Structure 1
Amino acid sequence: MKKLPFFASALVLAPLLAACLLLAPNAQAQSVEPLDGIAAVVDEDVILRSELDRAVRNILTQYAGRPGQLPPRDVLERQVLERLILVRLQTARAQATGVSVSDAEVDAAIANIASQNNSTPEQLRQQLVRDGLSYPEFRNSLRDELMIQRLRQRFAQSRISVSDAEVDAALATQGNAMQYRLAHILVALPEGATAEQIATGEQKIEGVKGLLERGEMDFSAAAVRYSDSQNALEGGDLGWRTIDEIPAAFAGSIRGMQPGQIIGPLRGPSGFQLLQLVETRQGAQATSGGGMVTQYQARHILIRAEDGAEDGQAKAKIDTLRARIAGGADFVEVARANSEDTRTKSAGGDLGWFNADDFGPLFGAQVTALEDGQVSAPFRTDAGWHVVQRIGSRQVDATDENRRAMVRETIGQRKLEDDWNRFLREMRGEAYVDIRTGANADDATSGG
């Protein structure tokens, strides 16, 4: 199995802007807002009623002129509150695992967002003020989004891998680069759903399907009004995907569908779904970047570290392990017994074949400086302290490698989406959440 390149580290800043405008009330808002009603208690944190109201107003502003596409006020509040709860849980988990974002990094993200919108950071700030949004709250929300992206990146690095066999199989069936734009409606079911809950969910999804079949509502409006998915307020839009990025349960059916057609309801791990093929297009094949490039095969030992005392302890441990290897201990066995990279530990730290920059410039510089068979001195990256042993190198055709990298990326993104959504459901289910607004407030406590 090969670790994915750090695909999650490249920030997609346009979606960040949309997320921050929607979720401008953030985890730090209670420090600047006067005490008001509590909409929800999330573990040891709270979401204020004023935060929920502002987030709902942002949605209403976005749908100005299209109010008929929005669900009733109580349903809209529930959807928005769930988003706020998930943001709280993710940022809390990020902080607990040592994720942080500096002011300089927030400044850089704002500069990129402004550039993508053909403006300067100052013009962006002025536009936010004109739109009635607090610039400090926008910065705090952007910081939260960056933290969540880093948490997701760590998740991907530790849990998501794609084998060469999976890439080979995908390439063998790739035939063309057809892409599919999809949308879905989800009626969620809780973990361990009872027979009654399953029957209620099935009845709801069949009712939504009936509305669509009778032409009483288009798919996008139905998603906004009825879907339990996080992207409900975007009309259930799942974006453009290749066939490799579509779950196997849907992929076979999608190939034979025409734009506008709907399949389902299908039962999945999250609940019942309806899926619509919105449109198709022919994507571009990866043909650029030809020529020969050098790839490396290596294994490594990772000791994770944070700043302060833990960093010193990690450095002492990696120094000890390096001394053992220098004294004749087998690198593979030392890695299996001690490495904290859970993805490669059982394989003796084997990273497979990779390009020099796949794991970041610091790691790549260490590998390229070694001879085959040589072991590095301990060195530090954002992940922690490493010792790396270079096994070999080879020359490969970059055009073919680019195609393989793109396929590996798409498979990895599909796996990440499935696993990340499962992780979020587990985190939501385990959390203490006491919802204190809405008709079902008294019955909304979950987790423990």
Structure 2
Amino acid sequence: MKQLIALLLFALAITLPAHAQLLTANVPASQPIDRIVAVVNDDVILQSDLDSAVRSIQQQYAGHTEQLPPMNVLQQQVLDRLVLMRLQLQKAGDQGVHVSNDDVDQAVASVAQQNKLTPDQLRAAVEQSGASFAAFREQLSDQITVQRLHESVVHDSVTVTDSEIDNLLNSPTYKAGEVHLAHIQISIPGGADAAAIQTSQTKAEQALAAIKGGMDFHAAAIRYSDAPDALDGGDLGWRRMDEIPPAFADTVESMKSGDVSAALRGPTGFHIIKLIDQRKNDRSMVTEFHARQILIKPSELVTPAQAQQQAQDLYSRIVNKHEDFAALAKEHSKDDTTANLGGDMGWFPQDQWGSIIAKQLDDLKDNEVSHPFQSEAGWHILQRLGTRQSDKTVQLARNQAREAIGNRKSDQVYDDYLRDLRANAYINILVPELREAGNQAAADASP
């Protein structure tokens, strides 16, 4: 349980506004007054914010602290992420992004479910760790806020055409399959001169030398990477090969599981990639059902009880009096998409019409008629007409290609957005030992 809470705190550690407490145990009344460690536009980051975020990371790596970089480097990394989070929250506020209590309740329920807890058990676990559940909720709210900012930024900026999908799938460089990757990113500041580029390259070569010298890749990512996922060990999870930038895909394809690449130059910096695992695409065979239905909806003129009784009467006419299902569907069904077709739903994957109908399909045999059953739409009578195995490999490949192209474009759009957001912000790191070259450059470039 302690490990669970540490992971939860770590996942949320960089999302809290400056004047809120970051999931920490109660502190003595004699605690000294906070100092301001950074000014971000018209907001500030306090020492307590930074200390709390650092403690959350240390809790996650309890027993494995050798994977963490020196304290001054860790503090710089955490502060950099606090600054970026603060900028995104400020921009979301300017754009009127709103998160309701219901939104946060749903997020709490989702976190609880992912960790096989009830919301009450999650609350008890957070509070047992000495943390504030109110602050936990506030951090979730911030995460949702940033996600909605991301969606608003990329929504109108990213489109994927059929021709782009065709070009990707027909390209001689197209590569199928999936890979589990981790990476280390050493960024090059915008407008960097030759000296700054060389500095980044030297840092990348130092990271690569440390890995070759026996340092764990995830530990090296924590120590050297400046990507947002650095404190997660640079783990990118499973990615389809068509989601990887083409400049890196050839390198990854030639690697074996466990291999680490050389330092690769990309548009925004240097990258070191580790191939953790890989898997090939299999043919995608899907069971499809052919069915028809009659839907009776309650309305201002039909009470729920009357709708149920009408469905029961129609069921009896079909099963006992052997009346034609299609004719009754045309006359009585209130489903606008199927009524004129005699209730015919066509061929479809099992879950296309929702979980309630999916369960009925499982319980029926071909040509069997279900007893009336209720969903949110009303009362249904379902007849399963047949099943078949359908090869969806091509369709799946096109869907995956569309998603891959969209994700790649979205990542680039939002990365550019964050770079501009930071470049145009006033950022002043007040504690000299916490200043990185990148932070200082941003501060110098600010108005």
TM category (shorter chain) comes to 0.5 to 0.7
- Per the alignment, do residues 114 and 30 of structure 1 end up closer, same or farther by CA in structure 2, a change over 3 Å counting? closer
Secondary structure of the 1:133 match is coil
In the other structure, the counterpart of 2:187 is: 188
Q: CA deviation at 1:25?
A: 3.7
Residue 238 of structure 1 aligns with an amino acid whose one-letter code is L
In the other structure, the counterpart of 1:95 is: 93
- Per the alignment, do residues 17 and 105 of structure 1 end up closer, same or farther by CA in structure 2, a change over 3 Å counting? farther
Q: Provide, for residues 221-273 of structure 1, a one-character-per-residue CA deviation record: whole Å limited to 9, x for no partner.
A: 11111111111111111111111100011011211111122223222222121
- Per the alignment, do residues 31 and 96 of structure 1 end up closer, same or farther by CA in structure 2, a change over 3 Å counting? farther
Q: Distance in 1 between matches of 2:250 and 2:272?
A: 15
Tell me if 1:426 matches 2:425.
no
Q: Distance in 2 between matches of 1:168 and 1:289?
A: 26
- Per the alignment, do residues 284 and 130 of structure 1 end up closer, same or farther by CA in structure 2, a change over 3 Å counting? farther
Residue 12 of structure 2 aligns with an amino acid whose one-letter code is L
Q: Distance in 2 between matches of 1:20 and 1:280?
A: 26
Identical aligned residues as a percent: 41
In the other structure, the counterpart of 2:206 is: 207
1:131-210 to 2 correspondence within 5 Å? Answer: 131-172=129-170, 177-210=176-209
- Per the alignment, do residues 100 and 274 of structure 1 end up closer, same or farther by CA in structure 2, a change over 3 Å counting? same
Q: Distance in 1 between matches of 2:425 and 2:281?
A: 42
Q: Distance in 2 between matches of 1:398 and 1:189?
A: 46
Aligned length: 329
Secondary structure of the 1:263 match is coil
Q: Distance in 2 between matches of 1:24 and 1:148?
A: 9
Q: CA deviation at 1:401?
A: 4.4
Secondary structure of the 2:80 match is helix
Q: Provide, for residues 362-391 of structure 1, a one-character-per-residue CA deviation record: whole Å limited to 9, x for no partner.
A: xxxxxxxxxxxxxxxxxxxxxxxxxxxxxx
Residue 409 of structure 2 aligns with an amino acid whose one-letter code is K
Q: Distance in 1 between matches of 2:79 and 2:282?
A: 40
Tell me if 1:62 matches 2:56.
no
Q: Distance in 2 between matches of 1:402 and 1:179?
A: 14
Secondary structure of the 2:261 match is strand
Q: Provide, for residues 333-371 of structure 1, a one-character-per-residue CA deviation record: whole Å limited to 9, x for no partner.
A: xxxxxxxxxxxxxxxxxxxxxxxxxxxxxxxxxxxxxxx
CA contact under 8 A between 1:290 and 1:398: conserved in structure 2?
no
Q: Distance in 2 between matches of 1:19 and 1:156?
A: 27
Q: CA deviation at 1:48?
A: 0.8
Match for 1:404 among 394, 398, 404? 398
Tell me if 1:226 matches 2:217.
no
Q: Provide, for residues 171-208 of structure 1, a one-character-per-residue CA deviation record: whole Å limited to 9, x for no partner.
A: 34699852111111112221101221112111221122
Q: Which runs of no fewer than 5 residues in structure 2 stay unpaired?
A: 291-389
CA contact under 8 A between 2:22 and 2:135: conserved in structure 1?
no
Deviates more, 1:44-53 or 1:154-163: 154-163
Q: Distance in 1 between matches of 2:57 and 2:133?
A: 18
Q: Distance in 1 between matches of 2:117 and 2:409?
A: 36
Q: Which runs of no fewer than 5 residues in structure 1 stay unpaired?
A: 1-13, 293-396
1:239-258 to 2 correspondence within 5 Å? Answer: 239-258=237-256
Q: Distance in 1 between matches of 2:22 and 2:264?
A: 44
Q: CA deviation at 1:116?
A: 2.0
Q: Distance in 1 between matches of 2:428 and 2:287?
A: 53
1:341-356 to 2 correspondence within 5 Å? Answer: none
Q: Distance in 2 between matches of 1:20 and 1:262?
A: 26
Secondary structure of the 1:161 match is coil
Q: CA deviation at 1:92?
A: 1.0
- Per the alignment, do residues 102 and 286 of structure 1 end up closer, same or farther by CA in structure 2, a change over 3 Å counting? farther
Residue 196 of structure 1 aligns with an amino acid whose one-letter code is A
Q: Distance in 1 between matches of 2:118 and 2:241?
A: 39
TM-score by length of 2: 0.67
TM-score by length of 1: 0.67
Q: CA deviation at 1:143?
A: 0.5
Secondary structure of the 2:99 match is coil
In the other structure, the counterpart of 2:12 is: 21
Q: Distance in 1 between matches of 2:421 and 2:176?
A: 36
**Structure with greater contact order relative to length (CA < 8 Å, sep ≥ 6):** 1
1:254-265 to 2 correspondence within 5 Å? Answer: 254-265=252-263
Residue 20 of structure 2 aligns with an amino acid whose one-letter code is A
Deviates more, 1:239-248 or 1:435-444: 435-444
Q: Distance in 2 between matches of 1:266 and 1:438?
A: 32
CA contact under 8 A between 1:178 and 1:283: conserved in structure 2?
yes
Q: Distance in 1 between matches of 2:261 and 2:22?
A: 47
Q: Distance in 1 between matches of 2:395 and 2:256?
A: 33
Q: Distance in 1 between matches of 2:391 and 2:44?
A: 51
Residue 97 of structure 1 aligns with an amino acid whose one-letter code is Q
